Amino acid sequence: MINFSSMAITSEDALREIAGIPHEHVVKKTISRLDEHCKKFIAMSPLLFLSTSNADGKCDVSPRGDSPSEILILNDHQFVIPDRPGNRRLDSILNMMSNPHIGLVFLIPGLDEVLRINGKATIIKDEEILSKMSLKGKSPLLGIGVDVEECFIHCSRALNKSSVWKPDTWQSKDTLPAMLEIFFDHLKINGIEVKR
């Protein structure tokens, strides 16, 4: 095993000496509310990534996909993400119950920039709110109420360099990992044999 602590950067001064200081525009692009641009971006985004950690600092990032406009924007400072039935692990929900701080990344297919939002989350069960996010006649079981603290557009570098939206750069399907095989092999590592 590699001892990463022997090569660790442990102070902001040391980090800044290597990475430099951000331009004023990069610092000042952060806003503390949802303006019309942020609202439109959220309304057009069918996919977000939700970052959470529990009170002990154990982290998790969870993808959340839905039809665009399924997130309910309540005002300039609050919105609700529907939490529809899933695999019942509830990793994100349990984390938010012990530590409300969250980070979100919203994506729009074909757009290389992303919207980042940081804030505090509350798990809610309010029928009036949840009914406004019904899908095929079913309300979500829960909602994630978000109090916005920071919003900003993140530059296109990561998605642009990855060519994630360019089908001609994608691997052919027969070379991709077989997810069911990975799932069964991971169960086997944990002592569970599944007959196929």
What does the alpha-carbon distance between residue 193 and residue 187 come to, in Å, rounded to a whole number? 7
Taking the whole predicted model, whether its pTM rises above 0.95 is answered as no
Q: Encode pLDDT of 104-140 as tens digits.
A: 999 999 999 999 999 999 999 999 999 999 988 899 9
Domain residue spans of the chain: 14-162
Residue 157, pLDDT score = 93
Short-list 155, 160, 124, CA closest to 141: 124
Q: Which two tokens stand for residue 179?
A: 């997810």
Helix, strand, coil percent values for the chain (each to nearest 5): 30, 30, 40
Confidence of residue 69 (pLDDT cuts 50, 70, 90): confident
What is the tens place of the pLDDT at every residue in 3-13?
999 999 999 99
pLDDT of residue 68: 85
Q: So what's the pLDDT on residue 75?
A: 98
Tokens 């000496």, residue located: 17
Its CATH architecture, for the domain 14-162, is Roll (2.30)
Q: Are 149 and 32 in contact (CB under 8 A)?
A: yes
Query: Residue with structure tokens 């919203």?
Result: 106
Q: CB-side exposure of 58: number of CA atoms within 13 Å?
A: 7
Whole-angstrom Cα Rg for the chain: 20
